[in-house]
Structure 1
C-alpha cells in the first residue's frame, strides 16, 4: 500500500532582531501572525509538529501543537543556514553570492550545497519516520527554499525572495517523491 505523506513547511513569523540567533523571539506582529497561522492549520488533521531549535520557529508553530495536543519535536536539521561566521556588510550581496554559486560559502558559513544537504537529510528522515502522516515543520526561509529546491529546481533564489514572514507551503510526497506543492498562507 502506497502512503502519501504531507509536509507543511512553515517559515517563521516576523521576529525582533537580536544577535542571539537561537533565542530571537517573535515580534508582536509575529505573535499575531502565528495565531493566524495556527487558526489556518487547525482546519487540517495534523499528526506531528516539528521545529527548528530556534525560538522564533518554535513560537510560530507551538499554537498548532497545543491545539492538537502534541509536543513540538525539535529537529536541528531544520535550523536556518549559517550565512557567515561574522556579520556580513551587505546581506543582499552575501545571500545572492551563495545562491549564484551553490558550492561557495562565506568564512564560517554554509554553502547552499552543505545547508541543502542538512535540510534534505532532515526532511528524508522525517518522511521515513512519519510516513503517511500530516506533519508541520517550523523552519526558516533560506533552508525551506533549499529543501524545496532539492525536489524541484523551480524553488530558487527568486522564490526565496518572495517568501513572506510567516509563510507556509504544503508538500505532498509518495515514496519520498514530491507530487504536489500548494501555498497555504496568504497575507491577511
Structure 2
C-alpha cells in the first residue's frame, strides 16, 4: 500500500511515479529539494570526466554546480523532513539517479559512483526506515508492478 506520492519538480521524475499515484488515487506532492543535482551552470563538453571528478572528490564542484557533499546534504535533509512529516506511511518518491544514490550513499558507502553507473532507467529501490535509521535497501523489479 502506498499512502503518499512525492516527486522532484522535473517532468521525468513526476512521470515515473504518475502511474502508481493514479493507481492509489494520490495527488503527487512536489518537493523541490528532490531535484537532480546541478552539475554546472554551463554546458559540459565532457560529461564523463565531469561526473567522475565530482564523485572522486565529494567537495569539488564545477562553476555554478553542486558538489556531492552539498547535493547529498540537501537530499538527506529532504528525506528526513519527509520521514518526520509522514511517520508510519508508505511513500513513493520520484527523483533522479545521482541524487538518490547520494542519499543511499549517506547511509551505506557501497552505493557509490560504480553503483550509480549501473542504474537502469528507470530503476526502483525500496528504502525501509525506522525513524531516521535506514534498515534495508532492496531493488524492486519493474515487472513486479506489471
Q: Which category of TM-score, normalised to the shorter sequence, fits these structures?
A: over 0.9
Partner of 1:50: 6
Q: Which runs of 4+ in 1 moved over 6 A?
A: none
Match of 1:174 in 2: 130
Q: 2:84 aligns with which of 91, 111, 128?
A: 128
Q: Structure 1 residues 47, 186: closer, same or farther in 2, change over 3 A?
A: closer
For residue 62 of structure 1, report the CA deviation from its aligned partner: 1.1
Aligned residue in 2 for 1:116: 72
What whole-Å deviation, never above 9, does each CA across 1:117-175 have from its counterpart, x for those lacking one? 11111100011011111000000000010000011111000110111100010010012
Deviations 1:38-69 (A, max 9, x none): xxxxxxx0000000000111011111111111
Aligned positions of 1:31-110 closer than 5 A? 45-110=1-66
Structure 2 gap segments, 5+ residues each: none
Partner of 2:94: 138
Q: Which has the higher contact order (CA 8 A, sep 6+)?
A: 1
Q: CA deviation at 1:186?
A: 5.0
* TM-align CA RMSD: 1.2
Q: 1:60 to 1:186 in 2, by over 3 A?
A: closer
Distance in 1 (alpha carbons) for counterparts of 2:110 and 2:84: 24
Distance 2:134 2:2 in 1: 19
Tell me the TM-score normalized by structure 1: 0.75
SS at match of 1:116: helix
What is aligned with 1:156?
A: 112
Whole-Å separation in 2 of the counterparts to 1:123 and 1:175? 11
The Cα of 1:185 is off from its aligned counterpart by 2.7
Question: Structure 1: 5+ residue runs without aligned partners?
Answer: 1-44
2:45 alignment partner, SS class: coil
- Whole-angstrom CA distance in 2 between matches of 1:101 and 1:82: 16
> How many residue pairs get matched?
144
